[in-house]
Structure 1
């Protein structure tokens, strides 16, 4: 072993740092261990240890060993919770920062399901409450949030699927018989020139290898080996193979129009899902609350009434129509969207109408909340 290190040092010019090096022994006599330590001048250490920030274990990794991921996420949330962030601002931070914190780990191993559920719970709590209280529930189920925007979701990453798609690159490397040490070792120890696509792992193999084989089986049920190898593998392609695309919703282009202010988009999105906390929803778990509209005081409050059957909101809509010379008699939000969709006008004009309508919906909802 020491001769191998010296040869490596002479060849590469890199020398091991004794203060940062350690010897890990398993299944050896204590006398042999002491002889290795005396000869090498290195210290003895024990599993687990960290390599490039990842804990290295001889057994299956548990959620307890991955708490640093949750701690980093919680620290970010505590920092952001001091700021007055809109729903859309939080959604952007979840997509760009929070969900990415575990990505480095997820590309190296299949993470415990409990950890991935905790990651989802933290993201869900931050979106709806702006805090790290994982006991709170959201207005819309997490699975729906992970749908694409064209299917009515927010485009969040499906964490479990992403983890398996990231490990899929090892499945592709083995199937492609890529020229690297890992693939050569796998072929020598486990596969032994058998068909990888038909391979079943033995019961006494390592937990890590069992997970890789399980990911291979998931791909096998979706695509043939030839199709799998026909393109260069990427995590995006792996997700496309694993996921079932949701049905396209008719209103996605209106809600996500590029001219609409982001926080207005989110409220419009909630309206289309019928998930705003109007009184008809709140009264289901708080029967002591009256159901009368806070703006007009004339009818029961629900989304259909608020946009735009309510006297207050109807006056706002009428003023907008007069200002724009918008010649339509409809006062129903869905019908107004259909009118915009079928209007014989330029895309810029349609975007302008949608932007103003979304702003109107947002400010009516804000006016309603100010009355509380």
Structure 2
């Protein structure tokens, strides 16, 4: 019965796998195409745990770039991937909770004035004059009805929410899917440092790498050595110290010099701090003028391009000097900042011409 769903997801993923996509591009494809298909099934049926596990495995393999016969080490759990971006995740829906949320929407139709054949039959033969929030299943009740009531009890028990809290304040009775999903997922507080990544001037692919770097989830040599790999852990950029996330961003002489040059370009005289300190400083920046956007874009562009340079040296045996990399990052920042502004100002022109 569920074979067609898995087959459709598998065929789409196998087609996309041949494309050269960033992590952010893969996440966007999953959210737009795969989860649209999956939502139809989730709104009609309680998906078995084995089917949910299979779908999540396919999605996980697609995001991290698995290929046939190979296995990759991942340092970012699927539970974190399914968190909201403000909680340090990728904004991907957790399938089990989403399935329960959409099925709760079907159960909610019994409260509404919607008179479909199913709701009429349920009220006439099953519910009758009982209260939907207290009715209990009979031994002879169907499997689907028992699952509905279990879901109702689970939602109330887990959240302690009264039914009125699930209704909209105005208009006809309607289940709030977002609140129901958040209630089933559990409380996930927003993290202050993620404010630094919320500005649209930061490109999605940059945002993902910064997010992984901040949470020490990149495949640095020290992380690989902790998993049992025997390899030289020296930093490929400066060749002077062990490669760790904190060293790459920005204790390394090479990366620190790159960021220092970008700071000088912006008129900032202080020395670069560690990545976590820099992101927390950026999270405190408010305002939407071009100078603020310029500052927000600089750090993410530096982190992404330094990581790309590190990978190019290891896997492609290519090498760029710090001055070459600085020129690349400056060009990216100019184009991105100007593209995000509504019209060019004198200040924008001066930035675009800055060297």
Which TM-score applies when normalising by structure 1?
0.76
Which whole-Å CA distance do the structure 2 matches of 1:118 and 1:291 have between them?
35
1:157-172 correspondence runs (5 A): 157-172=93-108
Pair 1:348-2:286 in alignment = no
Aligned residue number for residue 203 of structure 1:
139
Which whole-Å CA distance do the structure 1 matches of 2:73 and 2:148 have between them?
33
Q: Which has the higher contact order (CA 8 A, sep 6+)?
A: 2
1:204-353 correspondence runs (5 A): 204-221=140-157, 222=159, 223-229=161-167, 231-342=173-284, 347-353=289-295
Which whole-Å CA distance do the structure 1 matches of 2:94 and 2:107 have between them?
20
1:171 counterpart SS class:
helix
1:1-372 correspondence runs (5 A): 65-129=1-65, 131=67, 138-176=74-112, 178-221=114-157, 222=159, 223-229=161-167, 231-342=173-284, 347-372=289-314
CA contact (8 A) 1:295 1:368 kept: yes
Q: CA deviation at 1:306?
A: 0.5
1:174 counterpart SS class:
coil
Q: Deviations over 1:89-143 (max 9, x none)?
A: 0011011111222211211111111111111111111000155889766331111
Distance change in 2, residues 1:294/1:96 (3 Å): same
Give the gaps of 5 or more residues in structure 1: 1-64
Number of aligned residue pairs: 308
CA contact (8 A) 1:292 1:300 kept: yes
Q: CA deviation at 1:317?
A: 1.5
Which whole-Å CA distance do the structure 1 matches of 2:122 and 2:73 have between them?
44
CA contact (8 A) 1:145 1:154 kept: yes
Q: Deviations over 1:44-83 (max 9, x none)?
A: xxxxxxxxxxxxxxxxxxxxx2011111111111111111
Higher Rg: 1
Q: Deviations over 1:183-210 (max 9, x none)?
A: 2211232223222211111222221111
Distance change in 2, residues 1:179/1:253 (3 Å): same
RMSD of Structure 2 on Structure 1 (CA): 2.3
